Amino acid sequence: MAAIKFDKVTKQYGKVQAIKEVTLEVKDREFMVLVGPSGCGKSTLLRMIAGLEEISTGELYIGDQMVNELPPKDRDIAIVFQNYALYPHMTAYENMAFGLKIRGTSKEVIREKVMNAAAILGIEDLLDRKPKAMSGGQRQRIAIGRAIVREPRVFLFDEPLSNLDAKLRGQMRLEIARLHKKLQTTVVYVTHDQVEAMTLGDRIAVINQGIIQQVDTPDNLYRFPKNRFVAGFIGTPPMNFLEGKIMDKEGDIVFRTDSGELSVSVKDHAEIAALIHQKVTLGIRPEHIHASAAKAGPQSIPFSAYIPIVERLGHECYAFLAIGDQQISARLLSEEVSTNLPATMNLYIERDKIHFFSAETGESLKSSH
């Protein structure tokens, strides 16, 4: 049993509370991703699991055992760091074998485990090399192999792909996902990259300022964010936000942007319609704005926007739209956007993909799905 449970865990650095009563359960064999901006507390939570960071208050369990006071060597975990942490004077084989060697494991068993891990990772031809003769991706595979030979109950990854280029990061994401399916071990993975989080995690814990904002599957985080922070953090490019007010427009209750250039009926949503004369925030993802009503669906919302600039990415482009003094982006086909910019364009929003958030608290109001 390798489930992990945080029960009202806090971490205090002097007067600063870095972790604020976190309660979180990682299921046995689950791939849990901790994601959030730099300084949010995600690495601190990981280091608590490893025993490298003391807990101020609360309880931490690995399996059925409370491990608050248990030293790292007795926790049966393995950690892979961002900087690889390989011994430069040792070969890849020696680096992978070192932990077992200092435990007194026999040479035969060490060789069997190292060769098995090397086969899993496809690094058999690297075992005689030293780290300076390897690429970043190869070094990271050796670091992961060193963790595998331990056969731990829990794997911990602390931003392991941050030092790799974009292409290698994509390859290593696939390697780590494949590895988890093969080993069926509990994984806690820390990253600030939401693409990594979305592609790897069975579930994701989104963290901000030491507080878990939402724990859910990647799909639910994307479709049903609980607050504006989660909505803006999950998704590439991020969700657009438009500030406005709920108003009575000739008997129809509408959300209207501050500039009055976009009006959306909310009469059918009692929770939002009840907020008449109050400020709220509308959220819509760039991929849910279209160049034609047919693509946006039968209840599409038309609007006109000024486009000063476009980022062209070949088949697609990101068009930056001015709605009064507010700016949003739309993910469109390149052929749909004029090359003669700036220009004004008629566009359409998918009504059932709209979200509404409290302007005061940022909490989600009833969305249109």
pLDDT, position 366: 66
Grouped pLDDT means (10 residues each) for the chain, 369 residues: 92 93 96 95 96 96 95 92 88 93 91 92 92 90 90 92 83 88 93 92 97 97 96 93 92 87 86 91 96 90 92 93 92 90 92 94 75
Other C-beta atoms within 10 Å of 176: how many? 23
Closest CA to 19 of 194, 229, 212, 192: 212
Q: Domains in the chain, start-ordered, CATH in brackets?
A: 4-233 (3.40.50.300), 240-358 (2.40.50.140)
pLDDT, position 353: 93
* DSSP per-residue letters across 110-173: HHHHHHHHHHHHT-GGGTT--GGGS-HHHHHHHHHHHHHHT--SEEEEESTTTTS-HHHHHHHH
pLDDT, position 167: 82
CA neighbours within 13 Å on the CB side: how many for 236?
Answer: 8
pLDDT, position 1: 59
Quote the CA–CA distance of 82 and 250 in Å, as a whole number.
59
Provide the b/e sequence for 109-141 (b: ≥16 CB within 10 Å). ebeebbeebbebbebeebbebebeebeebbbbb
Q: What is the pTM of this model?
A: 0.89
CA neighbours within 13 Å on the CB side: how many for 100?
Answer: 23
Closest CA to 242 of 284, 301, 304: 284
pLDDT, position 128: 94
